Structure 1
Amino acid sequence: MPPHCDSLDGPVVTAARQALKAEDVELVLPYVHAEGESEVRRMFDMVLPVRRESAETRAVADQLFFETVVRVHRAGEGAPYTGIKPAGLSVGRVIPLAEHSVQSGSSEALVAFLSDVLRDEFTSRLEHVKLLEAMKHLSLDFARKHVEAMLSFEVYAHHVYQALSAPAIHNERDLVHDR
């Protein structure tokens, strides 16, 4: 996962469904950047009357509105629109835990899971460095592999730190990479 803002069961389409059902565009606008608001409002105003004609036109109008909202949302993230993904796709283990944290107000389960993953990754990578360190005296090739593993471990640690200390924002364009 990956984030699932572009899936039929993701938060953006869910909000768009709620907006159409309630006939209240305001319910989906928090998912749209300010520059895209007018486009979403225009499409909402266009699809509302068409939705009332028949089940077939409702389905087409809804799909058009979903695609518009997701495309505008993705543009606000600086990400390309690649279509709406079907519902039910795996989003991995972290997204459901993060969603649960938001709903419950507790990050305990998410922190425990990520802590376990982090500990396992660092342990495994360090064991690899130590194995190559024990073999570095056997040949120049092993010595080079040891240095590569050691530096990769250190760079990995740096990247993890950067990710952990990144600003708490959703828009990737605004992330600060040099900390």
Structure 2
Amino acid sequence: MEGEDEVKNAFTQALNVYNNGNEDAKKLAEYWFFETVVRIHREGEGASYTGLKPAGLDPGPMIPKVDKALEDGDISEVTKYLQDAVAEEITEHFKHVMHSKDYDVDDVPSARKHINAYLHLTLYSHHLYHFIKNPVLHEKQDEH
């Protein structure tokens, strides 16, 4: 498994520091080890490492919905929720473009507002599509 050797080496190093250090060294060893594991995990997902997050952060609605779907054996609530969320966001971006499209060509701030709205809609849609179809994520999934 990719990253496994690095995690094992990090664990060995952190354990050595933890067992031979004072309280500050122990805290540092724990923190460094967890950072290493999360960084490797994020790399495996094709995502950048953005640091450790504090415990208790709201994970949002998707994790409980996926867990419930797995318990129930029915993914339809998850797909419906995601479809609705995507439709809502794209519709909002679309409304901004449509609202700003009839600008006076001599009004530079209005033209900028329209181009900005257009770019938000286009790039949001583009990035969302590429995230969904990301071959790196699919390759990682196929390994499991």
TM-score with structure 1 length normalisation? 0.51
The superposition leaves residues 46-73 of structure 1 with CA deviations (integer Å, 9 ceiling, x where unpaired) of 99xxxxxxxxxxxxx9x89975653331
SS at match of 2:60: coil
Letter of the 2:83 partner, please give it: S
1:98 equivalent to 2:60? Answer no
What residue in structure 1 maps to residue 107 of structure 2?
140
How is 1:116-155 mapped onto 2 (pairs within 5 angstroms)?
Answer: 116-134=84-102, 136-137=103-104, 139-141=106-108, 142-155=110-123
Whole-Å separation in 2 of the counterparts to 1:81 and 1:148: 31
Letter of the 2:63 partner, please give it: I
Whole-Å separation in 2 of the counterparts to 1:66 and 1:106: 39
TM-score with structure 2 length normalisation? 0.61
The superposition leaves residues 91-123 of structure 1 with CA deviations (integer Å, 9 ceiling, x where unpaired) of 111232234445555432221111111000111
Q: Displacement, 1:44?
A: 7.2
Contact kept? 1:129, 1:150, Cα under 8 Å: yes
What residue in structure 1 maps to residue 124 of structure 2?
156
Whole-Å separation in 2 of the counterparts to 1:168 and 1:105: 27
Residues 1:137 and 1:99: Cα distance change in structure 2 (over 3 Å): same
Structure 2 residues without counterparts, runs of 5 or longer: 19-25, 44-48
How is 1:106-121 mapped onto 2 (pairs within 5 angstroms)?
Answer: 106-121=74-89
What residue in structure 2 maps to residue 74 of structure 1?
38
Whole-Å separation in 2 of the counterparts to 1:132 and 1:159: 22
| Number of aligned residue pairs | 125
Structure 1 residues without counterparts, runs of 5 or longer: 1-29, 48-60, 175-179
After superposition, the CA RMSD in angstroms is 3.8
Residues 1:151 and 1:85: Cα distance change in structure 2 (over 3 Å): closer
Counting aligned pairs with the same residue, the percent is: 21
Contact kept? 1:101, 1:110, Cα under 8 Å: yes
Whole-Å separation in 1 of the counterparts to 2:31 and 2:13: 14
Whole-Å separation in 2 of the counterparts to 1:138 and 1:66: 60
Contact kept? 1:33, 1:72, Cα under 8 Å: no
